[in-house]
Chain A
Amino acid sequence: MLDASEGYITEDGRKIGGVVMEMKNITLRFGGVVAIKDISFDIREGEIRAIIGPNGAGKSSMLNVISGFYVPQEGEVWFHGQKRPPMRPYEVARQGIARTFQNIALFEGMSVLDNVMTGRLNYMQAGLFAQAIWRGKAEREETENREAVEKIIDFLEIQHIRKTPVSRLPYGLKKRVELARALAAEPKLLLLDEPMAGMNVEEKEDMSRFILDVNDEFGTTIALIEHDMGVVMDLSDRVVVMDYGKKIGDGTPDEVRNNQEVIDAYLGVAHD
């Protein structure tokens, strides 16, 4: 169904390109615990790729491998057709990979605006001296990047809280601010770890809409982890299913839904 090199057009008319990220035989162990067992999958340009599976399946660990936070014992990460050498997380960020976290990781002591501005750190190059006197490049960069950030703030409809300290925000808005910070980096690949966990129905709908809009308007490639099967089926182009660190399914939502192993894994979860 999928051609290895070229892309395809989805039912709703979005263009999916070639492979941008490829995980090859990744194995990740924590002492005796094998969090990821020999998993391979790829992510195509412009697609929304979901990773699902019961708790403890190794989904977050997989995102952590992609963002350079965990170094797998075995396997290779290929990005844009090149094998990625071992990298620090900030170097991965500079390659155009941004993410949100399962447990919100905002900078609690800073305002919403400052949090989102940190997303643009990689676009700010003014030296210490220019910043100290607040002239030239420093001042110019601040204004330019503020403009970019304001666009994202508008896009995610958080104008009214831009000067609010993050610590005062309710959970749902924090999730949105975290998405704003990731988007501010204008990433090529956006990783979302359970962006809708703990949200009510209305908030989930908002978040789904934002994710689709990001993908649609900016053409951002998205890999997301989600529990809610309904949401996953609606949002994603292709799904990886993990269970106990192993990959037990990979394909379109329909293919995955009818996969017996996947059904068993999910029924198993429902029973305990």
Chain B
Amino acid sequence: MFYREAGDFKTSYVADNQTFPIKFDRYRYYAVLVVAFGIIPFVINDYWANALLLPFLIYAIAAIGLNILVGYCGQVSLGTGGFMAVGAYACYKLMTAFPEVSMFIHVILAGGITAAVGVLFGLPSLRIKGFYLAVATLAAQFFLVWLFNRVPWFYNYSASGQINAPERDVFGIIITGPNAPAWATYLFCLIFLTACAVIARNLTRGTMGRTWMAIRDMDIAAEIIGVNPLKAKMTAFAVSSFFVGISGALFFALYLGAVEVGEAFGIQKSFLVLFMVIIGGLGSIFGSFAGAAFLVLLPVVLKVVGADMLGWPTDIVAHLQLVIVGALIITFLIMEPHGLAQLWRVAKEKLRLWPFPH
């Protein structure tokens, strides 16, 4: 009986409304923060940063963003890759136009620009739903990739058509370009992920979140109790795209360094983030973390176990990954739409009553 809420009584509505109402959860959360901020930066190396940590942090931000739109507000989007590209190109243009401005500002502004673009492409959601909306966002995806390929202004007329992140620092510490130390890029992304997660949690536990969920669960009833559907959907698109834009900016500037838009932000990216949200759990911030961790870890684990330890051919390993992801998506969609997060909740509920379930 090490996980319990018994004796942990709430005497005020504020206490009842905390992010982690159960003490044990709160302590675990602090422990994770201490490890993430206090220990990992000292032991990190380039391999861990590039293979696991950076992609995890960055995809988690994208997954939180998409989860707000799909999981909380019920608006399907297949345009995540395109919106990440908006964040990346906005960040690139800002970095090259204003080299002396802090990267913090650039990344936040890139998020803001993506939010505006997201609202624009979200407008059809006022008229169409479900499958048709998915197709409309898919069109946005292809349009945006095409735009960044075709208009040289976006890549500063470079001969390759690529964008390359110039070297930039924050408070004198280099965080972009080949000379950036792993711990610095890691911390920079971690700060953004933490902030995004806290903001997302705050928005989803309050008025905004209830408005989104009301639209998701029954839009007609939502409107009749006083929800302005235009405002609800547009804020969901804006907030979601803000996060996705930030993740795109980080993905380009800190992780890849050089980007060819179709390759880095193509339709497969949209699906990857959507799969993270589905596997992790629709409508759960924690699920966004779980889904991102799972899909970042899976290929690495398969490679280490399958290819390196068992000596399987690499193409088999790659196919195996597709099979596993496909099977999981189907399983989760049919059996547990709330994903890993729900499995975790059920496990906790069992643990809470253990060893006396009655």
Binds A, one of B170-178, B207-215, B287-295: B207-215
Q: Mark A114-146, 1 if CB is under 8 A from B, else 0.
A: 100111011010101001111000110111001
Given A105-B218, A118-B210, answer yes or no on A131-B224 (Cβ-Cβ < 8 Å).
no
Binds B, one of A17-25, A72-80, A93-101, A238-246: A93-101
Contact partner, A99, options B208, B224, B229, B239, Cβ 8 Å: B224
Docked complex: A137-194 residues within 8 A CB-CB of B: 138-139, 141-143, 146-147, 150, 181-182, 185
Binds A, one of B57-65, B184-192, B198-206, B321-329: B198-206
Is B206 a contact partner of A107 (Cβ separation < 8 A)? Answer: no
User: Does A210 interact with chain B (Cβ within 8 Å)?
Assistant: no
Docked complex: A54-79 residues within 8 A CB-CB of B: 67-69
Q: Mark B216-229, 1 if CB is under 8 A from A, else 0.
A: 11101111111111
User: Does B13 interact with chain A (Cβ within 8 Å)?
Assistant: yes
The number of residues on chain B lying at the interface, defined by a beta carbon within 8 Å of a beta carbon of chain A, is 30
User: Which of A98, A114, A117, A121 neighbours the largest number of chain B CB atoms within 10 Å of its CB?
Assistant: A121
User: Does A229 interact with chain B (Cβ within 8 Å)?
Assistant: no
User: Does B97 interact with chain A (Cβ within 8 Å)?
Assistant: no
User: Which of B14, B221, B224 neighbours the largest number of chain A CB atoms within 10 Å of its CB?
Assistant: B224
Is B235 a contact partner of A128 (Cβ separation < 8 A)? Answer: yes
* Contact partners of A150 in chain B: CB under 8 A: 13
B207: nearest residue on chain A (CB-CB)?
A124
Is A90 a contact partner of B224 (Cβ separation < 8 A)? Answer: yes
Contact partner, A110, options B12, B217, B220, Cβ 8 Å: B217
User: Does A88 interact with chain B (Cβ within 8 Å)?
Assistant: yes
Given A126-B207, A142-B17, answer yes or no on A118-B214 (Cβ-Cβ < 8 Å).
yes
The number of chain A residues touching the other chain, given as a range, is: 35 or more
Nearest Cβ distance between residue B60 and chain A, in whole angstroms? 18
User: Does A108 interact with chain B (Cβ within 8 Å)?
Assistant: yes
* Contact partners of A68 in chain B: CB under 8 A: 224
Is A67 a contact partner of B224 (Cβ separation < 8 A)? Answer: yes
Is A121 a contact partner of B210 (Cβ separation < 8 A)? Answer: yes
Is B223 a contact partner of A134 (Cβ separation < 8 A)? Answer: no
User: Does A89 interact with chain B (Cβ within 8 Å)?
Assistant: yes
The complex places the Cα of A185 from the Cα of B235 at a distance, in Å, of: 23
Is B217 a contact partner of A109 (Cβ separation < 8 A)? Answer: yes
A108: nearest residue on chain B (CB-CB)?
B217
A141: nearest residue on chain B (CB-CB)?
B207
Given A121-B227, A146-B13, answer yes or no on A105-B202 (Cβ-Cβ < 8 Å).
no
The complex places the Cα of A99 from the Cα of B226 at a distance, in Å, of: 11
Given A128-B235, A131-B202, A134-B206, answer yes or no on A118-B14 (Cβ-Cβ < 8 Å).
no
B200: nearest residue on chain A (CB-CB)?
A132
B224: nearest residue on chain A (CB-CB)?
A89
The complex places the Cα of A150 from the Cα of B220 at a distance, in Å, of: 25
The complex places the Cα of A184 from the Cα of B214 at a distance, in Å, of: 15
Given A131-B208, A134-B202, answer yes or no on A105-B221 (Cβ-Cβ < 8 Å).
yes
Contact partner, B199, options A133, A146, A185, Cβ 8 Å: A133
* Contact partners of A133 in chain B: CB under 8 A: 199, 202
The complex places the Cα of A138 from the Cα of B208 at a distance, in Å, of: 10
Contact partner, A185, options B216, B217, B218, B226, Cβ 8 Å: B226
Contact partner, B217, options A89, A107, A128, Cβ 8 Å: A107
User: Does B283 interact with chain A (Cβ within 8 Å)?
Assistant: yes
Nearest Cβ distance between residue A112 and chain B, in whole angstroms? 13
Q: A92-B224, A93-B226, A114-B210 are in contact. List 7 more A-B contacts (CB 8 A).
A: A118-B214, A121-B210, A142-B13, A142-B17, A142-B207, A185-B225, A185-B226
15 contacts between A and B (CB under 8 A): A69-B224, A90-B225, A90-B228, A90-B229, A106-B217, A107-B213, A107-B214, A108-B218, A109-B217, A110-B210, A118-B214, A118-B225, A124-B207, A142-B206, A142-B207
Interface residue ranges, B against A (CB under 8 Å):
12-14, 17, 199, 202-203, 206-208, 210-211, 213-214, 216-218, 220-229, 235, 239, 283
